[in-house]
Structure 1
């Protein structure tokens, strides 16, 4: 029984072929592209969200950082749609896989670090040593700051994976309890169902917030290196 709870996090396959590519491509079909002068309300809502998010994300960055607006906006739309679709029954959430989240976090983090070393080498290296550090503590602090720098992409990936995995497990555990308790204790099963509905609403919020936090932290790393 305990092992079956984690089966939902296994990558689905069809005739030996992994379907994770399909799971990643399907959310792109939800974004409407139209050449008409007047679009639908869904298109207007999508455009309004994209514009407001991009303005908020790019406001702390200088002009050089605005080149990342398309990448970051596309990333949050992709992550948000994948996270929300993963809450539907009989679906697979690719963002519960640590390998995928690290595959997104490491290249983006490395790009910001390399950009900082290229544009302002002295300032980028200066982040490894706070100003006014005593001479005896300089080697220790440089080691600590270097380790914290390389931990950043791992923290990005683990944060997204852990939050989504914990939410999916809680939903499955409570839904299993509802089915087991329904014929035995209907009142407790009803209370568990109410908790399940509230938890589902919470998970919808977590799915959107975690996508935003993932992109926001990347923008902060970018701001630090520009």
Structure 2
């Protein structure tokens, strides 16, 4: 039974071909072209939503960091679509794989570090040692801050993986219990079915929130190095 629950996180193959590739590309087809959206309510809604999210995302950042708006917003949009796509039946969620999330987190984190070292080397290195630190504590604090710096991409990838994995497991557990108890008790089945619907709505919100948090933390890392 346990293996059955965790089988949903294994990368499916069809004739030896990993289906994770189309799973990551199919969400892009849900976006119509700009020409078909010209001068209609849908284009206005998409434009308003994009501007609102971008404004909230860039609000804590300085003017110098605003040139990273397009990469950060594109990353958030991609993560949102991948997270939501996995909630559809007979699909696969690429972002439940730690390797995929680390492949997204590590280069983006490294980009923020290299940007800081290139533009303001002294300030970036100064983050390793807070001002006014007593001399005996300097070696210890440098080690702690270095570990804290290098653990950031791991925290980004693990946070996204853990939240999506926990939500998917809980949905499968409750759905399995609902189907098992259906012949025994209609009242309990209805109760579990209601909980399942509410949990699915919560998982949709978590999928969008986790994508936003992922990019928000990256933007804050970028702000430290701009």
* TM-score greater than 0.5 by the shorter chain: yes
Matched, 1:19 2:19: yes
Structure 1 residue 96: Cα displacement: 0.3
Tell me if structure 1 keeps the 8 A contact 2:178–2:193.
Answer: yes
The TM-score, its normalising length taken from structure 1, stands at 0.96
Give, in whole Å, the separation in 1 of the partners of 2:9 and 2:42. Answer: 31
Q: Which moved more, 1:213-222 or 1:37-46?
A: 37-46
Instruction: Give the equivalent residue in structure 2 for 1:148.
Output: 148
Q: Which moved more, 1:84-93 or 1:149-158?
A: 84-93
Give structure 1 regions of 4+ aligned residues with deviation exceeding 4 angstroms. none
Give, in whole Å, the separation in 2 of the partners of 1:111 and 1:42. Answer: 34
Q: Which moved more, 1:102-111 or 1:65-74?
A: 65-74
Structure-to-structure mapping, 1:166-205, within 5 angstroms:
166-205=166-205
Matched, 1:113 2:113: yes
Structure 1 residue 33: Cα displacement: 1.9
The TM-score, its normalising length taken from structure 2, stands at 0.96
Structure-to-structure mapping, 1:1-226, within 5 angstroms:
1-35=1-35, 38-226=38-226
Structure 2 residue matching 1:3: 3-state secondary structure: helix
Deviations 1:100-149 (A, max 9, x none): 00000000000000100111111101101111111111000000000000
- How many residue pairs are counted as aligned between the two chains? 226
Deviations 1:55-99 (A, max 9, x none): 222233233312211111111111111111111111100000000
In structure 2, the CA distance between the partners of 1:37 and 1:197, relative to structure 1 (3 Å rule), is: closer
Where does structure 2 lack aligned partners over 5 or more consecutive residues? Answer: none
Give, in whole Å, the separation in 2 of the partners of 1:93 and 1:32. Answer: 22
Give, in whole Å, the separation in 2 of the partners of 1:46 and 1:28. Answer: 15
Structure 1 residue matching 2:193: 3-state secondary structure: helix
RMSD: 1.3
Structure 1 residue matching 2:2: 3-state secondary structure: coil
Q: Which moved more, 1:32-41 or 1:141-150?
A: 32-41
